[in-house]
Amino acid sequence: MPEGLLYSIGFILALTLALVMTPLVKKFAFFVGAIDKPNHRKVHTRIMPRMGGLAIYAAFVAGFLLLFPFIPDGMLTDANMNMIQALLVGGTIIILIGALDDRFELSAKVKLLGQLVAASVVVFGFGIKIDLVNIPFGDAMQPIAGWIAVPITILWIVGVTNAINLIDGLDGLAAGVSGIAISTILIMAIVMGNIPIILLSSLLLGGIVGFLFFNFHPAKIFMGDSGSLFLGFSLATLSMIGFKQVTIVSFVTPLLIIGVPLSDTFFAIVRRWVNKRPIFAPDKGHLHHCLQELGFSHRRTVLIIWGVAAIFGGFAILQSTVIQSTAANWVTFSVICLLMFGLQIGAELIGIVDKTRRPVINFFNRLLLRTKVDAQSRSK
């Protein structure tokens, strides 16, 4: 079977399976009591079933198993199978932890322990680590010492897993942002010819799109922690194993792929620190909360954040495609500066850290005022 056809069939197969399985998971969630009740921090006003992540996971795994007999032998090398098994085994651990949390509301420590176990399985069970980085203005890929690579990899997996969980606050938000990130990884994998990542990304994207039919506003089911944790873990693992052996990719690229959840998590930490609140204390200051306070509707807020995620994805693709050129380091540096400036301006405009503090905007306002005054003085 031609590779392109295989990937297309995988996407359609996973999408179809998600469309079939999501209503079944919805009934199962009500049956076992995995429901989300409204409260002061949540935007929904009625009891909703969660645990929708099981549908995405089931569509992904079932799609792979159904497609497996048709995968050419040349694609199933030991290295490729190692990558695939790492995602499947670690993802299964994560989905179990998430599903249990959707039903029993596990403590943060128990969930963190489960994430550490899943990350450790990837690192120690399958030997997958972040062992190379490309530092801007460095001469080449720099190896990371083995003992440092292990905690960096585990921190990356756990951090990204929780970043997706934090933005799961509106119908279709986390699923859409994850889908855009997976699409970015898929495009880059196609450019690089990374076969296992193309296959896995196609299947996962199909599962997400199928689930979004039931999760976009007004949602009929929430993905719950089972979905957000699984998608976060999948993003972390795919971005790592997809580019760990490709020396043309800068360390910036994986960060750009998950730019929206990563920046929202960063601003949440800064916001709580500035306001002298516990770092892990939940609040209603996330990006989607701020946009809704500005008057945007539920659906428009989600679409705006999807658009921002698409911009990050575009920068990631641009970054990876020009990284081989002689100007690669300057491109990396320019991308970082442009995005940091844009993030700061955006954060001040919507008040994601503080509603009254706008240091950069105030600086430019003072600069423009001074320029205007000087121009008036010269005209006189």
Q: 143-160 pLDDT, tens per residue?
A: 555 678 788 889 989 988
Assigned token pair, 288: 């989607």
- Reply yes or no on whether the pLDDT at 326 is more than 50: no
Q: What is the dihedral angle through the alpha carbons of 131, 90, 184, 14, rounded to the nearest 10 degrees?
A: 150
Q: Is 80 annotated as a binding residue?
A: no
d(Cα 90, Cα 232) in Å, to the nearest integer?
12
Assign 214 a pLDDT band (cuts: 50, 70, 90). very high
Residue count (the chain): 380
- Reply yes or no on whether the pLDDT at 72 is more than 60: yes
CB 339 within 8 A of CB 315: yes
Assigned token pair, 248: 């043309």
Q: Residue 316's closest CA among 291, 336, 345?
A: 336
Q: Residue 234's closest CA among 52, 88, 116?
A: 88
Q: Residue 29's closest CA among 1, 11, 54, 64?
A: 54
d(Cα 211, Cα 228) in Å, to the nearest integer?
13
**pLDDT score recorded for residue 344:** 80
Assign 246 a pLDDT band (cuts: 50, 70, 90). very low
Assign 124 a pLDDT band (cuts: 50, 70, 90). very high
d(Cα 16, Cα 199) in Å, to the nearest integer?
16
Q: Is 165 annotated as a binding residue?
A: yes
CB 225 within 8 A of CB 111: yes
Give the chain's end-to-end CA distance (angstroms, integer): 79
> Would you call 342 helix, strand, or coil by DSSP?
helix
Q: Residue 108's closest CA among 92, 119, 97?
A: 97
Assign 95 a pLDDT band (cuts: 50, 70, 90). very high
Amino acid at 12: I
d(Cα 117, Cα 135) in Å, to the nearest integer?
29
Residue 220: exposure state from Cβ atoms within 10 A (0-12, 13-18, ≥19): middle
- Kindly report, residue by residue over 249-261, the tens digit of the pLDDT: 445 666 777 778 8
